[in-house]
Amino acid sequence: MRHTSAVDGWRRFGEPRFRNYHYLALAQGVVGVLAGFDVVIPWALAMGCPPFAAILLGVLPLAGGIAQLVVPRLLDRTGGNLRGLTILIAAVGEPRGLYFAALAALYAAGIVSGPVALVALAVLLAITSVLSSVTGANLLSWHSAVLPDQDRRLVVPRLLAVSLAIGALLLLPMAVLLDSLVHAIGVYAYALPFVVSGLLGLVELWVLRRLRHPGVVLVPPAAATADSEPTPELNRFFRSTTINALGMGITPSFSVLIISVLGMTAGFAMTTGAIGTLTMVVAAAFFGDRLTRGSSSRMLRGSFGVRAMAMTAALLTWPLPMLAPVLIIAAAMLGSIGFAGGQLASNERLFRLVRGPQVVRHYARYLARTSGAMTIGQLFSAGVIAVSGPAAPAFAGLYGASALIRVYAFRDARPTVAEVPASPEPVVEPLPAVQSAN
């Protein structure tokens, strides 16, 4: 019965009325993966970036979550023009692959030195990551405004699954190709995935112009609404997701571990990323179907436990060095399962806990808190590695700490007896023009 329901859901998503969302999934999948950290981190290391600085690069996109706090004010200043604001921000941020490609070519040609190129990369990442994060959050608000609740539950998880699948399927052959091209033409090779990403970023802008207009989107001041104060359930949601985000931040990048500690190739690092992304595709499809009938709070709590298992698998690479490649891939797969389930459950949990325009405000708070916690964690992780160097004990300690933090988040998310619902978890449909996934 469940299998039939899942097949029917994908069949419905394939209907012509969702054609623009199919195009959006294609564009976002290519942009997100080929201009993402699975490519950027190996490229930065190839330009001579120290391992601790490569981890610090991961801090830069987190500012996008904090920047989401200004979205209600921007909507107010633009008269609630969510469509125009989103397209304008996307026009700068989504073709970022073209900026990276130009920088890769300048460095390979010797026009720009390594230190200058790394500083330029950090600046580009900081700017485009903020813009991309705001674009993604605004698109969730856009989907909520133009799609009935039933269609939103159908489209959003499948949009994520398809975009991840497309990106991963491109990343696998690109990983093999890059290892060969780097030997032949050096770091010029990294311009290839970036160019492809940049071109699809332009396609994404074309798709955004084709989506239904979301109308006027205004978020009233908190003082003007009766439901502006978080409930105990919402407070616990904020707390447990923030704890988990701290664990995410402490986790060193698998690319840095693979290349700088284990001495494997950039191609293997990208292949591991592609396998993780493909796993996330299956997980997103599975969890998306489960969320139509199941509990978002239980799914979110379970995702913390799965991520603790992922960190444990990474930790086992030191006592079991012969199994290191298998354990790293297992850690990537488990982490992807936990991330997909947690991302979908977090979004849906907010839909079910918050009514009306306050969804936008509380979603901004959620992003700001989790992004801040991840920033603190990554700064701590980078500091440890800066002091110790790319040493195995430091990485092992960080993965172990991350696992323990996820266990604590799992325990913290356990509902009290008074909060366990006697009936299935209610589904709250947000009002039009409100709503807002590492």
What's the pLDDT score for residue 95?
93
CA distance 425 to 164: 29
What's the pLDDT score for residue 413?
84
Q: How many CB atoms lie within 10 A of CB 193?
A: 29
CA distance 364 to 137: 9
Place of tokens 């701290």: 246
Tokens of 237: 């949601």
What's the pLDDT score for residue 206?
95
Confidence of residue 199 (pLDDT cuts 50, 70, 90): very high
Which range of 95-104, 187-196, 360-369, 417-426 scores highest in mean pLDDT? It is 95-104
Higher pLDDT pick, 3 / 277 = 277
Asked if pLDDT for residue 372 goes beyond 80, the answer is yes
Which range of 255-264, 267-276, 392-401, 426-435 scores highest in mean pLDDT? It is 392-401
Q: Please give, one letter per residue, the 3-state secondary structure of 137-161.
A: HHHHHHHHHHCCHHHHHHHHHHHHH
pTM of structure = 0.71
Which range of 106-115, 165-174, 279-288 scores highest in mean pLDDT? It is 106-115
Confidence of residue 150 (pLDDT cuts 50, 70, 90): confident
What pLDDT digit, counting tens, does each position of 237-259 carry? 889 999 999 999 898 888 888 88
What pLDDT digit, counting tens, does each position of 32-88 carry? 888 888 788 888 888 888 888 877 776 666 655 666 667 777 777 877 788 888 899
Q: Closest Cα partner for 285 from 165, 383, 185?
A: 165
Output the CA–CA distances (angstroms, integers) from residue 247 to 59, 292, 346, in the order listed: 14, 28, 16
Q: How many CB atoms lie within 10 A of CB 222?
A: 13
Q: What angle do CA 433, 436, 438 make, to 5 degrees?
A: 165
What pLDDT digit, counting tens, does each position of 39-49 carry? 888 888 888 88
Higher pLDDT pick, 233 / 435 = 233
Asked if pLDDT for residue 438 goes beyond 50, the answer is no
